[in-house]
């Protein structure tokens, strides 16, 4: 498999290069700016996959696609908050939060290989990116409208729960639930991934693949093993809520 890294932080680019080499991915070049990338893609055969940082030294990397037809699959590498990740996921093979975790990188590479081998994704297939939608999310998140309440079916009744009363969203046994400040759980007809576009990123943060937490209902934050954090919320679940190691830095930034 051939790849290009587009990353303006040179140490991060070198680290990603080494990680990819261990996965038998041949990195053809590491590019550091929008202009360098535009020139390179005009003059060279495109790789099978691009590892694409969002913010480069001379602008957003999406500008590369505005003037150049890129014939490669894309894996985003980003430090952006959770609000934008759903758009990245819909418009790429995968996304990786910085600092990039070895296991998540391996899973993303394997995902591309499986798509290519099992579902007919061809080498040099272009991934269509909706630039306007993604840039709108990145540039103007404050202008978006988020759900202020959820309507839930309880038997033959409908119950309205305000977002302020929700301590967390969580997944369990293939179902998605919200938990209220009085300790009750309600099943939702959606998924955690779909919630990304519906809940305010300033209020809710996805600490791992199973939990979104409401900042206003966090009671305590405790240092945990492997550089992780344990969170205590009001009327807690029996299961511990642990901030995944690769999300600790963004979680701390979110708390500020």
Q: What percent of the chain has pLDDT over 70?
A: 84
Taking 60 as the threshold, does the pLDDT of residue 147 lie above it?
yes
Residues 60, 126, single domain; the answer is yes
Distance CA 204, CA 255 (A): 10
Give the CA angle between residues 213, 109, 106 to the nearest 5°: 65
| 13/75 same-domain check | yes
Domain containing residue 242: 149-255
Beta strands in 181-252 (DSSP E): 185-188, 204-206, 211-214, 218-223, 229-233, 241-243
How far is residue 49's CA from residue 125's CA, in Å, rounded to a whole number?
9
Spatial CA neighbour of 54 closest among 20, 83, 80, 19: 80
Higher-pLDDT residue of 2 and 136 is: 2
Whether residue 170 contacts residue 211, with contact meaning beta carbons closer than 8 Å, is answered with yes
Per the CB < 8 A criterion, the answer to whether 237 and 231 are in contact is no
What does the pLDDT average to over 16-40? 94
Task: Indicate the number of domains in the chain.
Answer: 2
Mean pLDDT score of the chain, rounded to an integer? 84
User: pTM (2 decimals)?
Assistant: 0.51
Same domain, 119 and 246: no
Write out pLDDT tens, residues 171-204. Answer: 999 899 999 999 999 999 899 988 987 898 889 9
Structure token pair of residue 69: 């037809």
Q: Which residue has the higher pLDDT, 140 or 15?
A: 15
Q: List pLDDT tens digits, range 154-164.
A: 888 999 999 99
Q: Is the pLDDT of residue 19 over 90?
A: yes
Cα–Cα dist 69/198, whole Å? 32
The better pLDDT of the pair 163, 64 is held by: 163
Which CATH number is 206's domain given? Answer: 2.40.50.1020
> In the listed set 142, 174, 197, which residue is the last one of a domain according to the structure?
142
Residue among 42, 31, 45 at smallest CA distance from 67: 42
Query: Quick check: 124 pLDDT over 50?
Result: no
At residue 90, does pLDDT exceed 50?
no
What per-residue string of b and e applies to 204-224 under the rule 16 or more CB within 10 Å gives b? Answer: bbbbbebbbbbeebbeeeeee
**Angstrom distances, CA of residue 101 to CA of 143, 226, 251:** 32, 13, 16
Reply yes or no on whether the pLDDT at 127 is more than 60.
Answer: no
Local confidence band at 126 (pLDDT 50, 70, 90 cut-offs)? very low
Q: Which long-range contacts (CB under 8 A, 24 or more apart) does 235-242 make?
A: 235/167, 235/179, 235/181, 235/182, 235/183, 237/168, 237/170, 237/179, 241/168, 241/207, 241/208, 241/211, 241/213, 242/207, 242/208
Is residue 51 located within the same domain as residue 155? no
Q: What is the mean pLDDT of residues 193-219?
A: 92
What is the three-state SS of 69-90? CCCCEEEEEECCCHHHHHHHHH
The verdict on 154 and 126 lying in the same domain is: no
21/94 same-domain check: yes
What pLDDT is recorded for position 80? 61
Do both 136 and 79 map to the same domain? Answer: yes
Q: Of 142, 169, 202, which residue is a domain's last?
A: 142
Q: Is there a single domain that holds both residue 222 and residue 162?
A: yes
* Section 21-33 average pLDDT: 95
pLDDT score of 145 = 75
């Amino acid at each position: 498999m051939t790849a290009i890294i587009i990353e303006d932080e040179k140490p991060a680019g070198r680290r990603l290069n080494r990680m990819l080499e261990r996965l038998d991915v041949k990195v053809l070049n590491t590019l550091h700016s929008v202009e360098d990338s535009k020139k390179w893609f005009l003059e060279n055969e495109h790789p099978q996959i691009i590892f694409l940082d969002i913010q480069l030294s001379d602008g957003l990397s999406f500008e590369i696609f505005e003037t150049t037809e890129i014939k490669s699959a894309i894996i985003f590498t980003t430090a952006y908050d959770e609000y934008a990740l759903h758009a990245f996921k819909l418009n790429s093979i995968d996304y990786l939060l910085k600092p990039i975790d070895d296991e998540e990188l391996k899973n993303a590479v394997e995902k591309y290989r499986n798509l290519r081998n099992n579902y007919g994704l061809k080498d040099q297939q272009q991934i269509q990116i909706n630039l306007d939608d993604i840039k709108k999310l990145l540039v103007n998140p404050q202008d978006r409208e988020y759900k202020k309440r959820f309507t839930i079916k309880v038997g033959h009744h409908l119950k309205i729960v305000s977002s302020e009363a929700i301590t967390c969203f969580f997944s369990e046994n293939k179902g998605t639930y919200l938990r209220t400040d009085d300790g009750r759980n309600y099943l939702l007809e959606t998924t955690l991934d779909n919630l990304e576009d519906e809940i305010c990123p300033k209020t809710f943060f996805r600490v791992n693949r199973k939990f979104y937490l409401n900042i206003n209902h966090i009671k305590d934050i405790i240092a945990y093993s492997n550089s992780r954090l344990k969170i205590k919320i009001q009327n807690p679940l029996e299961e511990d809520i642990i901030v995944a190691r690769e999300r600790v830095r963004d979680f701390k930034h979110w708390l500020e």
